[in-house]
Amino acid sequence: WMPSQNWNGKFQGVGHGGFAGSIGYAGLAVALRAGFAAAATDTGHEAGGTDARWALGHPEKIVDFGYRAVHLTAVTGKAIVQSFYGAAPRWAYFASCSNGGRQALMEAQRFPDDYNGLIAGAPANYITHLQAGSEYISWVGLKDGLNAPGYIPRDKLAVIHKAALAACDAKDGVRDGVITDPRRCHFAPKTIQCSSADGPDCLTAPQVKTVERIYAGAKFAEGRQIFPGFEVGSELGWGGMTSGPEPFSIGTGFFKYMVFGDPKWDFRTLNVDRDTRVADQRLGKIVNAIDPNLKSFKAHGGKVIMYHGWADPAIAPGNSINYYESVVGAMGGVQQTQDFLRLFMAPGMGHCQGGAGPNTFDAVGALEQWREHNTPPEKMIASHSTNGTGDVTRPLCPYPKVAIYKGTGSTSDAANFVCGTPNW
């Protein structure tokens, strides 16, 4: 899509969540309104975003989905722009979330010259481990059926969430229904275990065990983490994976149609240690974007903004922190990394959007200022709305910094917070 007038001289690639399968028209429209010429791809197949049946018997389509389609869309899109306007775009950016975040990091790793800047929101970049971890979370609660002792009914998610907030919300000095950094709180689900019979406001002992396993996440047999578990504060969103009767279709479809090529594969047979290893062996080099060596991307001035909501109930936010820290190790340290890549963790934000915390912010604008004017984002102001009315603003800070309340003024106003290292 190309503006017929008032083109800003820039190109934007638009990504897609899930398994793609359609053109992201909404993302194209946002880019177009901002003056960009923009391009998107269905990544080589037509299907619903949670439907993986297209992959059965088609390894070439998995390659398209894994990395080829987004790269060729960038190459071809920029050529079309040059033909239409008679000039090449001065700057090229890519912005997306979830699988689109994986696409962004894949571009940085495999095709570092495609874009000048990338926005990778809640990236599904370790997709073999993500889907194994997601299927494991479903397996924990659903493998024995909805009448099993460890099954957690949807209405008990609010009970767990209320207890989590009671334990953790005020730790940052502001009681606002949002947990600033869940890792700094140690909520024990056993504190709401029923004293006798099951009840609506407590958990049975088997249910406590299920919750503990969801927080802990999937692990290999020797104890090494496969994928992080969900964070304290994300409980209201667990229903898609834990309420059943079947798991969320993306994880099951991944194993049925992409890993095992068997439409009859049953999630109840999951052996997370074995099946993760099979997924890695068969698909890891095609779909995973976990290479921390971004020297080629950095060398031509490329910039990356990553972001992730702490309350994400689809892709555990610890995955983004793990990747960021791997880049720090590969690139020579924090400063060398933050010269071109910064991660912003959003308290209370769900998967790519929504949630109790501020979740709307201008990452594209911040990226443009950084790449074009060498002004790195020291913070991004995020806002939250209720029924269409803005009610809270808060700075999002480059990890590992967090927003700290100054101690005076409205806690709903970003001006009363600073980015820093907490002592709580």
What's the confidence (pLDDT) of residue 248? 93
DSSP per position, 202-219: SB-HHHHHHHHHHHH--B
- Whole-number percent of the chain with pLDDT over 70: 100
How does residue 132 score in pLDDT terms, banded at 50, 70 and 90?
Answer: very high
**CB-based burial label for 162 (10 Å; 0-12, 13-18, 19+):** middle
- The DSSP output letter for 136 is H
Question: In 3D, which of 166, 71, 155 has the Cα closest to residue 112?
Answer: 71
**Catalytic residues, which ones?**
98, 312, 351
Residue range 389-424, pLDDT digits in tens:
899 999 999 999 999 999 999 999 999 999 999 888
pTM: 0.97
Instruction: Dump pLDDT digits (tens) for 243-289.
Output: 999 999 999 999 999 999 999 999 999 999 999 999 999 999 999 99
List pLDDT tens digits, range 156-202.
Answer: 999 999 999 999 999 999 999 999 999 999 999 999 999 988 999 99
pLDDT at 387: 87
Integer Cα distance of 301 and 406 in angstroms: 35
**Do 347 and 417 meet the contact criterion of CB atoms below 8 Å apart?**
no
What is the mean pLDDT of the segment spanning 38-58? 98
In this prediction, residue 388 has a pLDDT band, given cuts at 50, 70 and 90, of: confident
